[in-house]
Structure 1
Amino acid sequence: MIAQVDDALRTLVRTEALGGAEVEVAFDAPTKDWAARRNAPTVNLYLYDIREDLRRRERGFADERDEDGNVLRRRPAPRYFKLSYLVTAWTQRPEDEHLLLDQLLHSFLRHEALPEDLVTGGLAEPGRPVPMTVGLPPPEDRAFADVWSALGGELKPSLDIVVIAPIETGIVYDIAPPAAAGTVVDMADRAGPAADTGRRAGPVPASGAVPAASARRPAARRRTR
């Protein structure tokens, strides 16, 4: 699923934001060593956080049916995970970096979800949209300065892109096939011979009358000593 999101973002950046410009798209951690080795204009999309979006968790199951409408198996609803990307531009001049960030921002703002033609592979299995946000404030338990500190680099202008991807759990519950015959009930008096055996309960006629084969009989009396 993560690989499909990476591919979708790479395609979106190259086709819409960059417009064919000779700019590399990378997913490396933007550390000092990486920045020192860079020798071409680059847009970096660093995946720095993965966590479940508990607000979107659903209860219940999805039914998988055959051609006759019978339930074959049930699956739990997909879970949603937030993939947070730190998007930065790297050039020789700060003005060029700001221009790239401006193009990236306008490109991402056009989409509230990943375009359908970019949702492929396991990302497309749940058959649901893949929402996307840009530039929202970070959660209270995380700050962008902390991310840069962990990377060992200097604070740099960036965009925070969050893709909320649905994921199938892989859990499947098989359902027993529909009943092909009525219920058989055996009745007997423990203290005496069998009073009624092999009674089959079939479907009740539309008139509501009980079939003769399953008509109620008086219960056998229990012997007393």
Structure 2
Amino acid sequence: MKLLIVEDEEDLAMGLKRGLRKNGYEVEWIGEGRDGLALALAEDYGCVLLDLNLPGLDGLDLLRRLRAEKPQQKVLILSARGSVGDKVKGLDLGADDYLVKPFHFEELLARIRNLTGRRFIRQDVVVCRGSLRIDTGSHQVYVRDQRLKLTAKETQILETLALHEGKRLSAETIISQVWGEDEDLFSNAFKVHLSSLRRKLAAASGEDWIECQRGLGYCLKENPDEKA
């Protein structure tokens, strides 16, 4: 998912950029209001992280113009203006959320997930691939109508892959959806859960459902048992 940071404090912006990239996001940064508006209108972003005290064009003016032309764009205000009046004004102009500086990075991640992440892993849909059926509403997985016993993390990994049909996901992207900000889980927990998930799917169906291509990421195969 691509995020845009519109923030004139370079040190803060660079810190956010590094942290968000570690959590699987693609991030662009701009430090000036007019350029930020132009970029937000020209590109598609999962969320715009918007400061209010910007050179060139104030953040509230940027928000007003962005809302007029791109009403569906998710916007999270990040500002040192912390009064109730400032928050109300920002939200009334169309911001989806408002976070006061200074803030904890973990809270920022949670706010971004709340605005953008639900559509990836919290849809009450059923994904069917041959003998494999994934019910994302009840969080149950079936192979040939037999329920497969998976851990919560294994189920979330499988749902994330299933709901990104036709796309390869990096390990960072999957981790950001399943574990969020817990970066320490990157090297071990993801690999352990993924390996266990693949073993369970193979034992139940006789097929390896998850494809991994180095440098490109992971995807759920279309229907490996039909191709065998």
TM bin, normalised by shorter chain, reads: under 0.3
Structure number with the bigger relative contact order (C-alpha 8 A, sep ≥ 6) is 1
Q: What is the TM-score normalised by the length of structure 2?
A: 0.25
Q: TM-score, normalised by structure 1?
A: 0.25
- Going by fraction, where is strand more abundant, 1 or 2? 1
